[in-house]
Every structure is written in structure tokens, then in C-alpha cells.
Structure 1
Amino acid sequence: MLNLPASPKQHLIIFTRYPEPGRTKTRLIPLLGDVGAANFQREMTEHTIFQVQELQKAIDISVEVRFAGGDSQLMQDWLGLDLVYQSQGEGDLGLRMGRSLFDAFQSGAEKVTIIGTDCPGVNAQILATALEKLHNFDLVLGPAIDGGYYLIGLRQPIPELFVNIEWGTAQVFQKTVDIAQELNLSYVDLLPLADVDRPEDLPIWEQALAGKIKRSL
């Protein structure tokens, strides 16, 4: 089978953090310890990358990892040479996401989605659905049960969606929808999914792992 280059018209950006002990998944450190929380970040990112690789088997899409902490060499040593790595840069989450979207559209992408690595329910099918819905909608959002979102997809850069939002709060998703309505954007939601951020969220990860093992049998 020929390995054709991915189409830059569809682009996926993965936001993650290099798993340095003490500086990642800090809300899980009291339960897992510095190293345990970093290893958990490592596992969740690798789980997300696996799902993205499954997506790449089905459709042409370019993939980029925007990272915080570490550097490009550490990221390559960890996740391999097949991915494009770019530092998230400075600023709050909104500024960093808006910058990554602007760069992707400047490079010729026509449909861009951003995901994090905190939501083990994100799979290749959900990612493909998001891209499909961008045929008909300006904005695609994957609502997280905690009030944020695990995915955002756009057909053009819309910086207004990333300002005046208190990131990390339970109002992020609703505030984003409110801004979209003010801008008269057409938008659609995906399935609500759960993030894993706190000790009480760990059963969500365990369920995802159990399902992954079951599918591989």
C-alpha cells in the first residue's frame, strides 16, 4: 500500500504537556505522586495518539502536536519522528489555541480541529465525525461533562471564540456557545464526554482501558 502524504486541507492539533514529574497532572499528585501523575499524563497522551493514528488509516489528515514543557527533541524521543511538534508558546489557553488555529489556516488548512489528551473517550470515530460535520457547520464542539470542551473544530480562524473566557471553569463550553451565537455562527455539538483531571475521575480512565483491552482480544 502506498503511503500518500496527508492532505493539509484537514488538520488536527493535539494539545499536550511533556510528562515531567511535578509539573503535569498536578491535581492527581496527592493520589499518584509526582512520578505517577507524570506517567499518567504519558499514558493518556499515548492513548490519544493511538486513536489519531487509527483516524489517519481512514482519512487523509495532517497532525501536529502542540506541547508545553520539554522541547522538540524530548517530544520526538517520546512520541517518535512521524509527528510535527510545535511549542504552545506563551499566553493563556485561549491565546495558545487561537495561535495554533491561525497558523494552521495560514498554512492552507481548510478544516482544523483541536483536541487535548485528558479525555479517553475521544476516538477515531468521534474525530472523523467532527471533520464530517465541518462540511456543514462553522463550528464543531465536543462538550466535556465538567463544563469545558474536549474538541473544537473550525473552517476559519475566529479569534473571538478564545478571548474573555475563564479557562478551566465549568462555564467554558456555554460561554463559547454564547459567543458563537453572537457571531451568528452555525454550530453543532458532539457526544458529551468526561475528562480525567481529578482523583475521582480515575474510574473513567480505567473503563476506557478495560474497553481497549476487550477490543484487542
Structure 2
Amino acid sequence: MSAEVSLAILAKAPIPGRVKTRLISSCGAEQAACVHAELLCHTLNVARAAFAPERITLWTALDHAHPLFITLAERHAVTLRPQPQGGLGVRLYHAMASASGPILAIGSDCPVLSPGLLHACAEALTDHDVSCLPAEDGGYALLGLRRAHPHLFTAIDWGTERVMAQTSRRIHELGWHLACPATVWDVDRPADLKRWQSSEATLSHPFESLQASRSAP
């Protein structure tokens, strides 16, 4: 099944003040944007370790031609596509409904995401309708579907601790079967950033390096 599954990555351009806004009070808008960029780079590295590039689409938002998106697309040979206008449910459904077969969708906030977890979620779709990586905060870091259905994306309280519970109820209402290979955590609040910084997953600052290279004479 893994070879048949595609991967959608939904990400915003790392524009200061527009991303990781819950971190700004503790580290400032510029650093929050750098954190966002680091996590996106990590996500692409993990994705490419698990999937062939032709199975991966990076769905962009805020600035579709942002240099980091261009750099990542060239480095990893993945497809870039713009997210449509609308709330998260609209954008997530659009990305997943675009697939001709089973698909996994992720954001770029989860530092503990691994190729093994991606493979586990893909394989779970062999005998389940849905696979998911619930997050400790009540949301989820990954949603996998054999086929997209709008019922999973409408009237969901996105960004709250109710997302996973509401989604689980929708899955039950459809009569579908859910697999959850693991529970993970993401970087959303200052405490999450400290947790990541104290772990072995801490990365360098690729976006800062990119900015420096672009400004060099």
C-alpha cells in the first residue's frame, strides 16, 4: 500500500507575524518565522526519506513564490501547488480530494514525525479507511484517507482541543474504520518550543542561512 499512497504537505510561507503567532510573545516575530522554516525543512527531509518525490505535493499558502518554497521544491524535486482560499477544512479537503488514490496529509509543525510513522500510517490504509496521528493537544498531525469525504472537514473547531474528538465522531458516523499508530506533539506554544529545543531534534537555521545567502553581495 505504501507505494500507492501520496503525501500532501500543507504549509504557509515563513512570513514574520503571519506564522507561529503563539510563539511571538516569547521569541519575537522574526524568530517565530525561523522556527516555522526549520520545521518545514525538517518535514520535507522526513517526507523524502519515506516517499518518492513524485508522490509528494507541497501545498503553499501566504506567498506561493516564497524563496523557501522554491528552494525546497528544487532540492527535493517535489511538486508545488497553491492552497485555495478558505478555512483549514476547505484547504485540507481540497488537497486530499485532489488525489486519485489513498493520501496522507500533514502540516509542518511536528518535530517527532518520522519516515517510520509515515510508513505506518500509509500501511494502515490497507485495512482501514482512515489513519491518523493524534496530537497531545487534542488535534492531529496527520490524516490519512483511502478517499476524501467533506463530512470530515466541515464544522470542525480547527485550532482547538476538540479537533480529534470531532473528527473521530465523523469517522464513526460514516461507518469507517480508524487506525492511530501513535500519538505525537507539535510546536505551537512557547512550552512546545522549549521541549523541541531541549530534544535531539533541534536543527540548524536553514531559513536564516537562506536569507543570508540572498542578501550577500
1:79 counterpart residue number: 72
The structure 2 residue matched to 1:198, chosen from 177, 185, 189, is: 189
Following the alignment from structure 1 to structure 2, what is the Cα–Cα distance between the partners of residues 180 and 113? 16
The one-letter code of the counterpart of 1:110 is: G
Aligned to 1:127: 118
Ranges of 4+ aligned residues in structure 1 off by more than 4 Å: 210-213
Q: CA deviation at 1:210?
A: 4.6
Count of residue pairs the alignment pairs up: 201
Quickly say closer, same or farther: Cα 1:178–1:14, change in 2 above 3 A: same
CA deviations 1:93-137 (Å, max 9, x no partner) are 111111111112xxxx32100011111111100000000000000
Which residue type is aligned with residue 140 of structure 1? S
Runs of 5+ in structure 1 lacking a partner? 1-6
Structure 2 residue corresponding to 1:45, chosen from 29, 40, 43: 40
The one-letter code sitting in structure 2 at the alignment partner of 1:203 is: K
Aligned twin of 1:179: 170
Alpha-carbon contact 2:13-2:66 (below 8 Å) kept: no
Counterpart in the other structure of 1:4: none
- Asked if 1:100 corresponds to 2:91, the answer is no
User: Could you say if the C-alpha distance between residues 129 and 212 of structure 1 is closer, same or farther in structure 2, counting changes exceeding 3 Å?
Assistant: farther
Residue 46 of structure 1 and its aligned partner are, at CA, apart by: 0.4
Whichever residue aligns with residue 60 of structure 2, its letter is F
TM-score, L = length of structure 2:
0.86
Computed over aligned residues only, the root mean square deviation of the Cα atoms, in angstroms, reads 2.1
> Contact 1:9–1:61 (CA<8 Å) still a contact in 2?
no
Report sequence identity in percent.
32
Answer whether contact 2:136 2:184 (CA < 8 A) is retained.
Answer: yes
Partner of 1:64: 57
What is the aligned partner in structure 2 of residue 3 from structure 1? none
Per-residue deviation, 1:61:
6.2
State the secondary structure of the residue aligned to 1:78. Answer: helix
The equivalent position to 1:152 in structure 2, one of 143, 149, 153, is 143
The gaps in structure 2 that reach 5 residues or longer are 205-217
2:60 aligns to what SS in structure 1? strand
Work out whether residues 97 and 162 of structure 1, in 8 Å CA contact, stay in contact via their aligned partners in 2.
yes
Paired with 2:13 and 2:71, the residues of 1 have a C-alpha distance of 9
Q: Which residue of 1 is the match for residue 84 of structure 2?
A: 89
2:15 equivalent to 1:20: yes
Matched letter for residue 66 of structure 1 = W
Change (3 A) 1:76 1:144: closer
Distance 1:32 1:147, change over 3 A: same
Q: Deviations over 1:38-94 (max 9, x none)?
A: 1110001001111111113xx686000111111236354331321111111111111
Letter in 2 for 1:194: W
DSSP 3-state at the match of 2:28: helix
Separation in structure 1 between the aligned mates of residue 67 and residue 201 of structure 2, nearest angstrom:
30
- CA gap of 1:87–1:50, structure 2 versus 1, over 3 A, is same
How far apart, CA to CA, are the structure 1 residues paired with 2:200 and 2:110? 12
